[in-house]
Amino acid sequence: MAAPTLPHVDPHSDSFHQNPYPQYAALRHEAPVYWVEDEGWCIVSTMELCREVLRNPELFSNTNPEARRSEPPAEVAEEVAAIRAQGFSYVPALNLWCFTT
């Protein structure tokens, strides 16, 4: 069996957000559980695995004190600051990307 040819996946990159579908397909085929080294978490890319994650909160958690909490882009920073000023603080969430194509 040949080694996977999957390139590095950066789920925060502009190119990923503009057209994620080729990488989604590659992830499903070559790495259904893909470790995002820079972030310290995984992307699961099959419906079966997504269901398993959602049904097992004892095993899968959104608790990640090292999670990325980047500042908003400059064009919306003022609006985000206004929302936060109303008392809406950061709320950790289980980031589960389920996709099929």
State yes or no: pLDDT of 100 exceeds 60: no
Please give the pLDDT value at position 78. 92
Q: What mean pLDDT do residues 8-19 have?
A: 86
Domain-located, residue 99 = no
Domain-located, residue 100 = no
Domain span holding position 54? 14-63+71-85
The number of domains in the chain is 1
């008392």: which residue's tokens? 87
State yes or no: pLDDT of 73 exceeds 50: yes
Domain-located, residue 57 = yes
Geometric angle at alpha carbon 90, from 86 and 92, rounded to 5°: 145
State yes or no: pLDDT of 92 exceeds 60: no
Query: What's the chain's average pLDDT?
Result: 77
Domain-located, residue 7 = no
Domain-located, residue 94 = no
Give the side-chain half-sphere CA count within 13 A for 46. 9
Single-letter code of the amino acid located at 87: G
Domain-located, residue 5 = no
Overall residue count recorded for the chain in this entry: 101
Q: Could you give the percent of the chain with pLDDT greater than 70?
A: 71
